[in-house]
Amino acid sequence: MNDRRRVNGPAEGTRRPVFACHVDTASAPTRPQRQREPKAFRKIALETGLTRSASGSSYIEVQPSPPPASYNSLIPHSSSLKLACSVHGPKPLPRSAAFSPNLVLTTHVKYATFATRKRRAHVRDASERDLGVHLETALRGAIIADRWPKSGIDVTVTILEAEDDRWWADAPDSHDASWGMMNVLAGCITAASAALADAHIDCLDLVTGGMAALVSDDENPDAPPKLVLDVDPSEHRSIVAACVVGYMPGRDEITQLWLKGDSSNAVLEDGDKRTVHEALIDGAVTAAKSVHAVLAEVVRESILAAGQ
Amino acid sequence: MSSQRQASSAAQVPHLSPAELSYLYTSLALPQNPIRPDGRSPTQFRPLSAESNILPGTNGSARIGFADGTQAIVGVKAEVERTVLISDTLDVDQDAETVEGAEESASAATGGHGSWVQMSIEIPGFRDDDALPVFLAEMLRESLVGSVGGNEDNGERHMAGGLKGRLVINKRWHWRLYIDVLLLSQPLSYPLPLLSLTTHLALLSTKLPKLKSTGEEDPFFDDDWAAAEYLYPRSSTINSNPSQQVRPPVTLLVISVGENVIFDPSREEIAVADAVLAISFTRNSDSDTGTDEPLKLLLTQRGIANSETENGNGPDSAAAAEEETPGVWRPRRGGIKRSVLAEMMKTALKKGGVGEEVLAGLEGVEVA
Amino acid sequence: MAITILPPVVEDLGPYQADSDSDDSMSDISDSDVDMDSASRPQKRARTVSKKLGDGVVIPGQVVTDDPQWMRGHGTYINPLSTSIIATVAGNVEKTNKLLSVRPLRARYNPEIGDLVVGRIVEVQSKRWKVDIAAPLLAQLPLSAINLPGGILRRRTSTDELQIRTFFSEGDLVIAEVQSVHQDGSASLHTRSLEYGKLRNGVFLAVTGTGGSKAGSSSKGGSKSSSAVPGAIPGIGGVVRSRRQRWSLIAENGGGEIDVVLGVNGYIFISKHVDNAAAMTNTDSVSHNRMEELVSSTIYSSQNDEIPMQTRREIARLSQSIQVLVQHGVRVDEDTVTKAYRASLQVDIEMGDDDEEEDEGREYLEGSKARQIIEIVLHGK
């Protein structure tokens, strides 16, 4: 009983094509390898004010990992996160709504139907609602809501291209947790924060999303998993645990935390007194801090551009 | 969307007054010794009554009632289903036995899949596509399937691959688990702990029929229910260490107010919390690692109870001066420090901490 | 131990009637059940009831009496062309002169003029507030029925209408009196007294207020329930109309003075005692008018005073004591609340002798502690 008014066709109607080169073992594609350092990030393109009709908007794109040396398949080897965010408001609440002394924040996160390798449905599904709730939590802590009484604001994120949950050629069961979603959430938080700044909503600080994960090594699966920042799930055979934070660097505060996975077997480097999940959170915070540098620069540039 | 909001706001209880919130916050934030409105200690839970195996038509079931009258019933049903492997990846893997694909498809077939566990939550007053039930179901399911682990030491049978692995019958067949959670009345506080504890009990009591077939043939089962095996294996010997057994995860709600970490918060307490954290954990079955932590963390989410924390009415004049006047409630802004976060997790997960006691308490519920 | 998990309680309702004083009426009814002679049955039952009229429990649809001398009151109806009065709710039959009414065992609050109630503002309109007082309908509190700041007899102006939220806004708790009851049963409140107004410095507690059940009914012994406390009937507790709905008591353990407000509607507020008037009159120079002004300017503030830890502790204990009373179906009034509070202190001291190390959550009253408290309250043991 998803939507009472319409009968929706099956969401999963399509199947990806199989190309001849897959079957040919010699040229079968190999899993992309992470070429960056564990603490290095992919490049981010972030821009604000692209949607003129909205009171604030932003677009974020993460550079895809470079393809393996001899890659000749038609299928894109890895996906890159692309999402657009628009902010509408503050606008008066509808007459039917109850009085609120604060700004009422609503968030919508929607995957475009073509955003993933497998086509997605038009109707918002559980994971999209889930992302919406997480995003709302992250932003609520940063917005100074009592500056805008009796008004509402809508934050809408459209995911144009989502991060893969696994390498495309893997059996669909090999990573079954949706790790890509965590990257998407981190992107959503950063983009929404940029759009809020563009819409001139009072915020305590620019909240940014950061992601870190514990991955087990491809070469020797028995070695303890290690901490890697800004993980592209398609580059790793298995992700043990991952963590996303919404973080405000100016106040050193976390507004949103999502940590999942089983981190009990992980061992940190010698001399590290932290527990594994603390290390994960710290890793995600480090990632968020470096994203913040980009975000702050973009917001500053947009002001300068507007001043000219 | 607006109809949705109405539906969920209908289930909400009216706001608290600023004076109440302020009183509550300052009481809970008293250093060392917070005063909770009902006189509990910070780590004390409200007493609850529990029973399991109450529904004969299910594979496992449980009921938990809180003293305030809210009750949850969970029924677990298992069905046999054919394992569908997506053809395109499968074909590749079967042809290319030398590459790593083969090994991977095997691991997929033995490792199980998270979507084999289905969870639905029914809360009166909420549509089933409202954010709250969806979010809760997703969170509980995530922690259930997220638990991998269990190892084969001591000759005892453990669950390799966690719950997902347990559902595999053979390469072509698997169990599908339906976990249906029913809340009997509108929740008086955030229902997550209640739902999680009840699900835990129901899964503990869940039995699957004994498999008679072997290997890759089509499965057939012993029709003797007495011979059925527990989904989460119980130890055959009486005095084996319970801490080595694989157990379903439990999700607890923890809030922080000031310096204090408070468990099992009531609705009013959530309304003034600085941070709300949902922590899922289970027994750490790796006895050989010898860690200090008997429990492992599976999932943590901060600020889940946002519909409740929205509560704060501003002070009388919202546009008044910025300085904080003591005694006047001001809605909480910003996030929480990492040290507070770490403290919250530590209190829940440390040896002899609250988490262990909760698991031990649930262990004590008689499985009839 | 952080968590207490109890086995489910089987409510054993069997012996409820067995040893009660209504034994003979029970046997009468069972006689008539066995007796399948349809002609004689209605008469017999009617006679039975009219014989026992006044102290029986009736259920909806049951004939209370067919004697035409009685007049129909609340909770009953009369079929046209007949004189028999039939109950519409389950409860006790009550007689007032020749008026026959059935008072439900557990009723929702029905406002009556003069009731002292505690309410929560749920809606702000342009000239009035809508207040939740646990009645079927929201009560209204007109702007003209409150004390406006700056003199008690000032006329209401449009400025007041514009800043209506500075007096009360959504969520605020008020103590008020029912001024009038409208045709549809909704109440109109007023706070035109320095006793009334905004509530702060304390905790709010909602119990199943009946406002209905007569004080005597719950303390009568004779029932056996799962709580195994003689004299307590589950579901009949609550706040009743009584002599004093609002008083202060001196708390133990250095708690100072604590105000308790028992709203007739079952909403309770427990707060630190703040003596506004005394503080004002200390300074003799302020005139009476000036005092009014000072009081009314603080009356709408949401700011709490400094409340010491001991007071908070005792407030929590007091609210727990009331919860215990309600859970065990004991009526809540000044007498029982005070007794329960003293009893909880006494029980605590006894418990403290038993086990010293159990220091955690000492204030949490449940299980055996609650039972002891009820014993003390009801029987003075």
B137 CB within 8 Å of a chain A CB:
yes
More confident site: A298 or B131: A298
Among C12-21, C76-85, C154-163, which stretch is predicted with the lowest mean pLDDT?
Answer: C12-21
Written as six digits, the tokens of A305 are 């551009």
| Cβ distance of C169 and A98 shorter than 8 Å | no
Give the rounded percent of residues in chain A with a pLDDT score beyond 70. Answer: 80
In a domain, B3, yes or no: no
**Which residues sit opposite A88 in a β-bridge?**
A154
pLDDT at A145: 81
Name the fold adopted by C70-104: OB fold (Dihydrolipoamide Acetyltransferase, E2P) (2.40.50)
Beta pairing class for B117-122 and B173-183: parallel
- Is residue B1 assigned to a domain? no
Q: Residue B148: which CATH number?
A: 3.30.230.70
What whole-number distance in Å separates Cα of residue C38 and Cα of residue C40? Answer: 6
Quote the domain boundaries for residue A207: 36-65+75-307
Residue-level pLDDT at A236: 80
Global pTM reads 0.79
Higher-pLDDT residue of B241 and C177 is C177
Residues of B in contact with A285 (CB under 8 A): 338
Q: How many CA atoms lie within 13 A of A146 on its CB side?
A: 19
> Given this model, what pLDDT does residue B319 score?
30
Spell out the residues 6+ positions from residue C279 whose beta carbon is closer than 8 angstroms to its own: none
The upper half-sphere exposure of residue C37, i.e. CA atoms within 13 Å in the direction of its Cβ, equals 9
Instruction: Report yes or no: B310 and A139 within 8 Å, Cβ to Cβ.
Output: no
Look at residue A18 in the predicted model and tell me its pLDDT. Answer: 60
Which residues are CB-neighbours of B23 under 8 A, at least 6 positions away?
Answer: C200, C201, C202, C203, C304, C307
Q: What is the mean pLDDT of residues B72-96?
A: 67
Structure tokens at B59: 């594979």
Whether the CB-CB separation of B338 and A281 falls below 8 Å is answered with yes
Residue pair B199/B139 in contact by the 8 Å Cβ criterion: no
Task: Show which of residues 26-55 on chain B sit within 8 Å of chain C, judged by CB atoms.
Answer: 26-27, 30, 33, 35-41, 43-45, 47-51
Domain range for residue B227?
10-363
Helices (H), B29-147: 87-95, 100-111, 131-146
- Of B75 and A171, the structure prediction assigns the larger pLDDT to B75
Query: In the structure encoding, which two tokens stand for residue A293, read together?
Result: 């540098």
Residue A199 belongs to domain with CATH number: 3.30.230.70
Where do the structural domains in chain C lie, given as residue ranges? 70-104, 116-379
Q: What CA–CA distances, in Å, run from C156 to C10, C128, C143, C300?
A: 59, 12, 8, 16
Contacts of A215 (CB under 8 A, 6+ apart): A225, A226, A228, A231, A236, A238, A239, A240
- The shortest C-alpha distance from A269 to chain C (Å) reads 34
How distant is the alpha carbon of residue A292 from its chain centre? 14
Chain A residues with beta carbon closer than 8 angstroms to that of C302: none
Listed residue (C325, C341, C331) closest to C248, CA to CA = C341
Is the Cβ–Cβ distance between C311 and B34 less than 8 Å?
no
Mapped onto helix, strand or coil, the DSSP state of residue B368 is coil
Using a CB–CB cutoff of 8 Å, tell me whether A246 touches chain B.
yes
Is pLDDT of A251 > 50? yes
Q: How many helices (H) and strands (E) does chain B have?
A: 11, 11
Confidence of residue A284 (pLDDT cuts 50, 70, 90): very high
Chains that touch B (3 or more CB pairs under 8 A): A, C
Any C CB within 8 A of B258 CB = no
Q: Chain B interface, mutation test: which of C302, C317, C368, most B Cβ atoms within 10 Å?
A: C302
Is A101 within 8 Å of C169 when comparing Cβ atoms? yes
Is B368 inside a domain boundary? no
End-to-end CA, chain A: 53
Does the beta carbon of A21 lie under 8 angstroms from any beta carbon of chain B? Answer: no
* Residue-averaged pLDDT of chain A: 81
Dist. CA A113–CA C287, nearest whole Å: 75
Q: Which residue does chain A place closest to C125, by CA atoms?
A: A99
Chain A neighbors of C123, CB-CB under 8 A: 98-99
Q: In chain A, how many H helices and how many E strands?
A: 4, 9
Average confidence score pLDDT of chain B = 71
- CA torsion through residues B322, B323, B325, B330, sign: positive
Tally of domains within chain A: 1
Treating both helix axes as pointing N-terminal to C-terminal, what angle do C368-379 and C334-354 enclose, rounded to 10 degrees? 130
C167, C119, C121, C118: which is closest to C146 by C-alpha?
C167
Q: Which residue of B has its CA nearest to C324?
A: B38
pLDDT confidence of residue C208: 64
End-to-end CA distance of chain C: 30
Confidence band of A264 (pLDDT split at 50, 70, 90): low
Residue A199 placed within a domain: yes
Amino acid A257: pLDDT = 87
Token readout for B232 is: 């989460």
Q: Is A98's Cβ below 8 Å from some Cβ in C?
A: yes
CA dihedral B87, B88, B92, B94 (to 10 degrees): 0
- How many structural domains does chain B have? 1
Binning pLDDT at 50, 70 and 90, where does residue A86 land?
Answer: very high
The alpha carbons of chain C give a radius of gyration, in whole angstroms, of 25
Record: contact C304-B327, CB cut-off 8 A:
yes
* Residue A4 belongs to a domain: no
- If pLDDT is split at 50, 70 and 90, which confidence band does B53 have? confident
pLDDT at A108: 92
In a domain, A136, yes or no: yes
* pLDDT, position A297: 92
Question: What element of type H or E holds B176?
Answer: strand B173-183
Instruction: Please check whether residue B28 is in contact with residue B35, taking contact to mean a CB–CB distance below 8 angstroms.
Output: yes
Nearest residue of chain C to residue B63 (CA atoms): C8
* B45 contact partners, CB below 8 Å, separation of at least 6: B263, B264, B358, C2, C3, C4
Residue B338 to residue A281, Cβ atoms within 8 A: yes
- Which range is least confidently modeled, A89-103, A208-222, C30-44, C321-335? C30-44
